[in-house]
Structures are given as structure tokens and as C-alpha cells.
Structure 1
Amino acid sequence: MLKSSEHRRLVPLPQRAPAQADAVTGLTVYAVVLLLVPSDRTIAQLGGAGTPAVLLSIALMVWWLWYRTRLANRVKFSNPVYLTFLAFAAAVMISEVVAASSHLPQPDQNAADMGILRLAGFAGAFFVAADGIQSKERLAVLCRRLVLLGAVVAALGLYQFLSGSVLIDRFPTPGLASVDAGIDMRSGFMRPRGTARHALEFAAVVSSMVPLAIALCIGDRKWGFLRRFVPVAALVGVSFISLTRSALVGSVLGILAMMPFWDARLRRRVVALGIAGAGAVMTALPSVLRAIMEMFEGGDSSVDSRTGSWDFAFQVFATNRLFGRGFGTFLPSYRILDNQLLLLVLEIGIVGTLAFLALLVTGVYCAIAGRTAGEDSLDSHLGVGLAASIISSATLMAFFDSFSFPQAPGVLFLVLGMSAAYWRLSKDSERLNPKISVPSIGNKKSRILAASVAVLVVLLALPIAQVIRQAPSTYWTQQDLVFLPPSSAVGGNSLRTDARDLIPFAALVKETYTGIHGPSTIEPVSAPIYGTGVHSGELVRVPNAGGQWQTYQREATITVEVLGSSAQEVSSTMEQTMTELTALAQEPQQQMNVKRSAHIITDVYPEEVVPVQIQSRAKWALLLLGFLTIMAAATAHELVLRKTGQS
């Protein structure tokens, strides 16, 4: 017995191999930074593109490029999600060429440059997930971690709702600037925002996590039931108390998208559990039910804001329908649309928007069609959950400008990358996406054909470069007509009782001018008229400090902007407009026989009109065009070689 015991002690115990960092590890770090670091913390000089999550995702992009260059095999173009993302990225870059070759204000130019960084941030998480996840098991691990992080954020949102305290504002982040978003109230309750910048961003993140949490709760047998159910309860529960239509609509649509893939028994259980959970919340917090009912009633200003600016948006859209005005360049100084899909139409045009919609559709399709196991397996439920998450996120894009925030698009493109990986790892992906058979030709002919196609791409870009180089400048100027009270206090002027009455008089003069000449070409909130894409015209308005939501005019001033093709044209038009406005200001006073000394008088500021030459950034536009041309030529060359059997 002793010898046997000694022998057993001498047998070395099996050692577990140390875990190696892989793509899932990197994406986990990215998800932690994305969801747990408050999204309002940024590097001030980089604006919205300077959040730690965006910068980390750009680092992931560099990592992916390094990874691809070290591989012996070349990139495969058979993944539909991969292809549509490349099409979307190309459309964004084309819109940046348009922005650089247009006459945009400096803030818009800066936003266009930041748009390239944001695209790189989207691409980093997407490509690392699409290319780097090595198995369905590792994909499930990433999904578990993502859901766990979502549950933590949901728990923070629940605390904020119950306590009325943001909490995250108490934790400083050295080196990062913080924008205090304040506390958003609705119906007497604080709208939770977790670590997000806004309650709507929080709603989008929570809603996109709900399908993934449900998929794991149903299909994952690795965790116990309680551990699987708590994230679902936290995410769905905070959707009810978030007091945002977006969270409710997104969560419900995500669940409805999953139901066709469940059996009847599971559907009944989920519906019963949902009704019981909603009843419990409403019983404990009956005032929340009233607040939810009020949200879906008419007359809400937040609903009006999503539709009241459509006319203006379509005017801007008409200036560049195909490729838009530049990704990220439609700033709040034009309008706040609260509709990301409409923003995409304006910023990347019809081509880019169709590419993005194709990306969403292929993401959903690949997650559904890539299922190879039985209906009740984790593999199957995970595919359904990924598809429903994309559907939920895509739907909520119609409710707010999601790309203006870091967390919502960060989660969306990560899930799209996971869908691409799911498709790649599915055994039937080759069967579902068959290769096109092309007869093989000789090696020399194949290379000549590939080189010819690449040269053709370059030749097609040359006329575009010539148009950019020869783009004409435009001239713009602005002048104010200031209304001043009479120099004496002689009575008899019914238009002046005190200084505040000068503002309605200025508005009257402006409306009289508009009645004669018609409304201005296009009227942004505060941006200069040339930023809208028009090349000539004038804008006459009384400055409104209330923005697009309300009328709040603080000064008796009429501001006139004139845009034209030459400095002489602009100066002449401005002089004529100011002369006519001055005459319109004097005419009603003369008709009322107001004493001359009691006239409301006008003055012009500045006294001298100095037209400003607005130029495009032609060199930057040519540089971007050259980059796109090289990438397109190289891609065309490679595809021709592959299709002819020489690569």
C-alpha cells in the first residue's frame, strides 16, 4: 500500500496549458472599454472620434492589417458581410472626396476628417471579429462576455433610475475631457443612461443586447439557469423603466424577430414570462405605466423634431444625391434630425445608404442561414440572437442619430463582425455561397487582362481628378441690418413703446421682404448658407437663439448672407438687398406720419462688405481619390487573376 501511495505521489499532475490571447481577448478588452468607460470621456482635440473605445478599435484595425500581411493565404471575398462592409467603407471614402472638393465651413471639414477616423474605428472591431474568431466556441465566449457587460450597464441604469444619481460623474478619468450631459427627466423620473452619453444611446445598447442574452439563456448549458436568466431580467427590466420609446420598441422587435425560430412551447413561455415581468414592474411602479402611456401619445416634441426638418433635409439632399455631402458633416448647426438613416442619405448619398442597408441585410441573412446544428442547440440560438440584435439596432437608427455616439455603432459593428465570423465558421457557407465557375485561360493572357482592368480603373479616375482640380471657387459675405430706437423720445410712434418692440418690427420688415422676393433658398439653423451645398443665392433672417426647437430672438437685427460666383456679384447683391430692407423699414413709419425724429432708424454692420473666397480642399480630395483609385485597381487586378484561375 505504501509503495502504491508513493507511486501515486510521484505521478505528475496534468497541467493546464496557459490560455493564449487571441481575437476574442482583444475584442473583450474593446467591449470593456466601450461599455464601461463613460462615452462622454474623450480626447478633446479629437471630438467624438477621440473616445478610448474608438482609439482602441483603430488599434485593432492596425493589428488586423498586420495579421493579414503575415498570412500566406490571401483575403477571401466570398463572405457577403465582408463584401458589403467593404462597399460601405468605399462609399464613405467617396463621400469624403466629395466633402474635400466642396465648399464646406471649417467645422464641417473637421467633421469630415474625423469621419475617416470613425470609419477606421468601425472597421477595427468588425474585421478582427470577422477574421479573427477561430471557432464557434470562442464566438460563444465573446457573446457571454458581451452580455455580461450589458447586464452590468443595465444594473447601473437601474441604480440611476431608483436613486436619481448618475454616479459615473463621481469618477474622474485623467487625461480625458468630460462633457456633462446633466440629468434627463421625463414624467418626474430620471431617464437612466448607464455609461452612455445620452438616454437614447443607452436604449440602443440595451435593446441590442436583449436578443443575445435571450439566446444564451435558452441555448447555453454551460451556465446555470440563474446565471443565464439574470442578464435577461436586467436588460429587459431596464428597457421598461428607461422611459424611452426606443428601448421598448427595440427590445420588443428583437424578441419578435426571434420568435419564428422557436417552437410553440417556447414562444408561450416567453410571452407568459414577459407579461408577468411587465405586470410586476407596473405593480411596483404604477407611475411608470402612466409615463409609458404618455410617451406613445401624440403631441410629443421629440416626435415632432424627427419630422419637422424633413423638408430642409431633402433640400440638402438635392445638392448631391448619389454620394452625399461627406460622412459626419451634417452637424446640428444645420438641423438635428434624430434619424440616422436620413442622416446617412444626406452624408453618403443613395449609393452609400444602399451599401449600408445591404450590410445590415447580409448580416441578418448570414446569421440565420449559417445555422448548421439543431434548432435547440446553442449554435442555432446564437445565430438567431445575432440576427435579432442587428434588426433591433437597425430599427432604432430611425429614432436617433446613433452614429453621433460611440457605444451604439460600436456594438452594432461588433455584432456585424460576429455575424460574418458565424457565417465563415459554418460548415455550409460554401454550399450557401457557391463560387462562380470561370474557364481558366493562359497565364500570360490572364495577367495582361488583369493589368488592363487595373489601368482602366485608373483611367476612369482621371476625369474625376480633373473636375476636382478645376472646381471653381465661390464668394460669400454676411452683413447685419441693425434696428435702433429713435434718438428722441417724441411720442406718436406706435411701433415703439420700449426697446423690445424693435424685434417684432425687424421681423415685420423681414417678412415683408420675403413676401416680395419669396423665401430664402435654404435656411440652416446657424451654419453659413454655403455649407448646405448651394452655389448662389441669399439668406435673409432674424437671428434666432432658440435653434430649431423654439423662437427666441434677442436682437433687433436682420442678418443677410449672399453667395455668388464672383466678389463683384456678391457685393452688388448685398448692396441692393440692404438698400431695399432699409426702405422697407422706413415705409410703414412714413405711411403712419410718424415724426422724423421718432423714426426707428437702421444701421449697417459691418459698414463695408468684404466678400470671402470659399475654396475647396482640392489637394486633400486628390489624395483621397488617389488612395481609392489604387485600392480599386489592386482589387480589380486581384479579382481578375482569381477568376481566371491564375491566383
Structure 2
Amino acid sequence: MKALALTRTPPGADVAALPRPHPADGATLGVVFVVVLMIVPARLVFRGLSFAITPAEAVGLFALIWWFCAQLTTTLGAAKGRTLVRGAVFGYACSLLATYAYAAAGNLPRDELDLADHFLITAFAMVGVVLVVVDGVRGRARLDLVLKTVAVMGAALGVIGAVQFLLKFDPTRYMVLPGLRFTQEELFIVERNGLSRVAATTGHPIEFAVVCAMILPIALHFAFQAMERRQPHLRWWACAGLIAAGMVFSVSRSAFVGIAGAAVVLLAGWPRRRRLLALGAMVLFLGAVKVVVPGVLGAIVELFTGLSNDSSLRWRTMDYTAAATEISRHPWLGRGLGTWYAPKYLVFDNQYILTTVETGIIGVLAFAGLFLAGIWSALRARRLLADPGDRDLGLTLAACLVVPLIGAATFDLRAYAVITGLSFLLVGAAGALMREARRGRAAAAGPLTPAAAPAPPATSPPTGHGR
């Protein structure tokens, strides 16, 4: 009885002012997707299935079903109507279906046809992620919830990566959930030039590096926003520091090329004071890395100064002739999604080349167009929005999407689950921000006033025929 008494509302309390839990919506699915994608090791797939599917891809398929059902009703809170991102993802999906039909009608070997089936399913899981975010995340608070989850999970990846790098201990081998299995027994720690390269829970150190580079602007956005609004901000700076540390511990050239592209976008839109703060934070961070882990910065610099002696770079340029030959055989729709794979064929460390081989010119244009639509939507939303924090989020999302757009030219991005899932989620976030910007602009315009309402059509005077 005493416990029941403690849960009663005090006399005179304003019941309407008490916080109420938000009903589950697209943002809830987005948060679940981010947590599962970034915490469950990327090489874990479900047992007992005829093809490999990760838990995050299963969430993406559920999101696609949720979105389809939401479009049939008006009670699930999903937005309706066209947006550029929505149109781009529909175009991407149509290109995949056309490629699949073209490949299935040909004489593909059985192993390649099975891979085409698998990759089509996983690709539509990512389509579901974009759609559930662009149409299911309604309001700035819900969008912030999804993006804050991305930043916090990025910090968790940074912690795992630091443990792998500093302690030479891989905790991911103990993170196997019931019903899952590893697709590979390789460790998430590899060696390069005498230094450990770590992957955290992602599939490869390059993927880990590009993931950190892509989500670092999000953590910086919330850190700067909290500072400017005089709110607690040290936690967001800690997240940014851990994400940046993960990028360094991966020892990857692709990450720094990507973060340079993001920095160009951010510095072009940031005010002068923020640029100086960012420069100071970068100097402090690099100084801390130099003291804690001497030799890492030198190894990273050598990645760029030793390009002429880099065997991996020479290997990447040797496959252009084979790619051109294969593209000429199926120029428009490609040979089939997922049908060009190692060790049966050469590995293309370039997603644009691989996408052109597998899905043709139409497919690569649809793939790149999806990211360009996200960048345009984020920058367009920035122009439409009036609140400085909202405008900064538009700039941040555009900077984030520049990273995979560049990274796709340096490695086969689509082959890795975490970077693919986050890239598609951020494309959806840019579309959701654009939708909110248009809704805010329409609300600010207000309803049509009587003075501005169109005049009723003129009617001729009644005649006597009806009397």
C-alpha cells in the first residue's frame, strides 16, 4: 500500500504538465536500427538461413514493411507526398529491379544468381531505412533523437576501437548473441606498417575509419549547439573526441580524405568564431594523440607522402582495363547486383566502378544521385529554415554525406554493412529535415486570408426558364 501511495499524483499537481512517453514511430525504428547496426559486430548473421542477413538488415526489412503499411493508413503518423529524397530512393529501387530482371533473364551461373537474390534483399532493407526516416521521423525533436543516437553509438565504437588498439584485446569475439554466427573468423585487428589497425564492430578498419569521419560532424554539431545555448556540452565533446580517436586508430587514408571533404563544407558555412574553436580543438586533440600514442601521426602522414611506393594504390589502378571490358558487355543495366565477387573475379576498390559493372550506367547514376539528393535537400533545408540550430543541422548533414560520396571512390563501400546503413539513414535524415523545413515555411505563411482568397467565379443572372 505504501508503494501505491508513492505513485499517486500529488494534490494540486498539473497532470497535463507531466511528461508522457512518445508513441513508437519512425524515429523509434531509426534508433533501434542505429543501435543494432553499430553495436552488434558487423560479421554476425542469423543462423539457419539459406543466405547471410545481419540483425540490422532484418530491422531494415521490417522498416520497409512498416513504411508500406503506414502509406495505406492515416493513423501511423507517416508523412505523405513527394520529396526529392523519396523520389531518388524510388529511382534507385527501380534501377535495382531492372538490373535484377535483366540479370535473371540471362544465363548467370547458379552461384551468381544466388548472390543477386541476396543483394537485392539487403539493398531493399536499406531502401526501407531511407523511407522510414524520411517519412516516419516527424519533428525536429524526433530527428535529433535519431542523430544523437548516432553520435553516442559512434562514441561507443571509439571506446571499442581504443581497447583494440591500446590493449590489443578484441572484445567483439565475446559479443556474439544467441542465434547469430560469425561469417569470418578473422580478428577485427590487423597490422599495417608495424601499427595495429582496428575495426571496432565494423567489418574492416577502412570502414571503421570512414564511419567515424562521417559521424564526427554530428557530434560536433551537438557540442557547438549545447555551448551556444549554455547547456551541458562536455558529454558531446567527449563523444566527438572518442569518434575522432577511432578515426586515428584505424590508420586509414580514406578517412582523412573524407573528413577533408566534410571540413570544406563545414568551414564554408560556419561563422568565424566556430572555425577558431574547431581549429583549437583539433590542435589539442592532435597534441593528445602525439603524447598518448607516439608514432601514429607519423604513420598517417606517411600514408600521403609515400603514395608513389604504396603497393595497395598501384593494385587499385591495375583493374581498370578489366572493368572497362566488363562494362562494355552490359553498359546500361550491368551484369547483376552482387554477381562480381572475390575470389572469382578481381576486386575493385572503387564502389563507382563496381556499381557500374554490376548495375550499369543507370545503376551508378541512381546510386550517386541518392547521395546528391540528400546533400541538396540538406542545403536547401538550411536556406528555408530560420533557426540557427536548424540551419546548422542542414549544413552538418550535407557535410556528413560528402564523406561516403568521396569514400565510394576509395573502397567498395556498398560491401560493408555499417557504412552503408549509416549512409542511407543520413540520406533519409536529410529528406526528413527538408520535409520539416517546408512544413515550417507553410505554417509561417499561415492560412489564406479572405482578402487574398480567390474571388468566386462569376455567374450569369438567373433567367425565367426555371420559374
Corresponding residue of 2:452: none
Q: Deviations over 1:48-89 (max 9, x none)?
A: 751110011101111111111113999855311111111111
Q: How does 1:626-637 map to 2 (within 5 A)?
A: none
Map of 2:116 onto structure 1: 112
Cα RMSD over matched residues? 2.2
Q: 1:170 aligns with which of 168, 174, 178?
A: 174
Shift of 1:272: 2.8
**Alignment partner of 1:58 is 2:58:** no
Q: Which has the higher contact order (CA 8 A, sep 6+)?
A: 2
1:158 is displaced (CA, Å) by 1.2
- Per the TM alignment, residue 241 of structure 1 is displaced from its structure 2 partner at its CA by 2.5
Structure 1 residue corresponding to 2:334, chosen from 309, 321, 324: 324
Work out whether 1:151 is the aligned partner of 2:162: no
Determine whether 1:197 maps to 2:203.
yes
Amino acid at match of 1:11: G
Maintained 8 Å contact 2:351/2:414: yes
Q: Please state how far the C-alpha of 1:124 moved relative to its aligned partner.
A: 1.4
1: distance between equivalents of 2:176 and 2:374?
38
How has the CA–CA distance of structure 1 residues 412 and 74 changed in structure 2, closer, same or farther, with 3 Å as cutoff? closer
One of 225, 250, 254 as aligned partner of 2:258: 250
Q: Secondary structure of the equivalent of 1:18? A: coil
Greater displacement, 8-17 / 21-30: 8-17
In 2, the alpha carbon distance for the partners of 1:63 and 1:74 equals 10
Match for residue 26 of structure 1? 29
Residue identity in the other structure for 1:269: L
SS at match of 1:426: helix
Question: Which residue, 131, 135, 138 being the options, matches 1:131?
Answer: 135
Q: CA deviation at 1:304?
A: 2.0
Whichever residue aligns with residue 261 of structure 1, its letter is: G
Distance 1:410 1:18 in 2: 27
C-alpha distance in 1, partners of 2:324/2:164? 39
- Residues 215 and 384 in structure 1, CA contact (< 8 A), matched pair in contact too: no
More helix by share: 2
Aligned 1:306-317 pairs, distance under 5 A: 306-317=316-327
Q: 2:220 aligns with which of 203, 211, 214?
A: 214
- Segments of structure 2 that go 5 or more residues without pairing to the other structure are 1-8, 443-467
Residue 272 (structure 1) aligns with = 280
Residue pairs, 1:57-456, within 5 angstroms: 57-71=60-74, 78-178=82-182, 179-182=184-187, 183-220=189-226, 221=229, 224-296=232-304, 297=306, 298-332=308-342, 333-371=344-382, 372-374=384-386, 377-427=388-438
CA contact (8 A) 1:261 1:384 kept: yes
Distance 1:10 1:270, change over 3 A: closer
Tell me the distance in 1 between the aligned counterparts of 2:368 and 2:230. 35
C-alpha displacement at 1:303, in angstroms? 1.3
Query: Do the aligned residues in 2 keep the contact of 1:322 with 1:349 (CA within 8 Å)?
Result: yes
Secondary structure in 1 matching 2:248: helix
| Partner of residue 619, structure 1 | none
Q: Do 1:122 and 1:413's aligned partners in 2 also have CA atoms closer than 8 Å?
A: yes
**SS of alignment partner, residue 429 of structure 2:** helix
Conservation of the 8 A alpha-carbon contact between 2:209 and 2:254: yes
Residue 105 and residue 31 in structure 1: after superposition, are their counterparts in 2 closer, same or farther (change >3 A)?
A: same
**In structure 2, how many angstroms separate the alpha carbons of the residues matched to 1:80 and 1:157?**
36
The C-alpha deviation readout for 1:336-380, integer Å capped at 9, x for no partner, is: 1111111111111111111222221111011011124447x2211
How far did residue 320 of structure 1 move? Answer: 0.6
**Equivalent pair of 2:116/2:338 in contact (CA under 8 Å):** yes
> Unaligned stretches of 5+ in structure 1?
1-7, 432-647
* Cα deviation 1:295-352 (Å, max 9, x = unaligned): 2212222212221111111111110101111111111111111111111111111111
User: What do the CA deviations read for 1:209-250 (whole angstroms, capped 9, x no partner)?
Assistant: 111111111124485120121111111122122211112222
SS at match of 2:438: coil
Distance 2:123 2:434 in 1: 23
CA distance change for structure 1 residues 262 and 104 in 2, over 3 Å: closer, same or farther? same
Corresponding letter in the other structure for 2:150: L
Relative to the length of structure 2, the TM-score reads 0.86
Partner of 1:489: none
Gap change, CA 1:88 and 1:18, over 3 Å in 2: closer
Q: Distance in 2 between matches of 1:374 and 1:127?
A: 26
Displacement after TM superposition at 1:428 (Å): 7.0
* Of 181-190 and 314-323, the range deviating more from structure 2: 181-190
Larger radius of gyration, structure 1 or 2? 1
- Once residues 72 and 260 of structure 2 are traced to their aligned partners in structure 1, the CA distance between those partners, rounded to angstroms, is 43
The worse-fitting range, judged by mean Cα deviation, of 243-252 and 25-34 is 243-252
Q: CA offsets, 1:431-468, max 9 Å, x none?
A: 9xxxxxxxxxxxxxxxxxxxxxxxxxxxxxxxxxxxxx
Conserved 8 A contact 2:78-2:136: no
Q: How does 1:457-468 map to 2 (within 5 A)?
A: none
* Runs of 4+ residues over 6 Å off in structure 1: 72-75, 428-431
Secondary structure of the 2:295 match is: helix
Deviations 1:93-139 (A, max 9, x none): 11111110122222211111012111221111111101011101211
The answer to whether the 8 A contact 2:374-2:401 is kept is: yes
Tell me the distance in 1 between the aligned counterparts of 2:299 and 2:107. Answer: 46
SS at match of 1:205: helix
SS of match in other structure, 1:185: strand
d(CA) in 1 for partners of 2:50, 2:211: 21
> For 1:374 and 1:400, how far apart are their aligned partners in 2?
38
Aligned equivalents of 2:245, 2:300: Cα separation in 1: 14
Render the CA deviation track for 1:178-231: whole Å, top value 9, x for unaligned: 122223111222211110121112112111111111111112448512012111
Aligned equivalents of 2:221, 2:51: Cα separation in 1:
32
| CA 1:380–1:37: 2 relative to 1, 3 Å | same
- Contact in 2 for aligned 1:370/1:383 (Cα 8 Å): yes
Moved more, 296-305 or 127-136: 296-305
Other-structure match for 1:11: 12
Superposition deviation, residue 389 in structure 1:
0.8
Question: Do the aligned residues in 1 keep the contact of 2:42 with 2:201 (CA within 8 Å)?
Answer: yes
Matched pairs, number: 423
Structure 2 CA distance for partners of 1:213 and 1:422, relative to 1, 3 Å: same
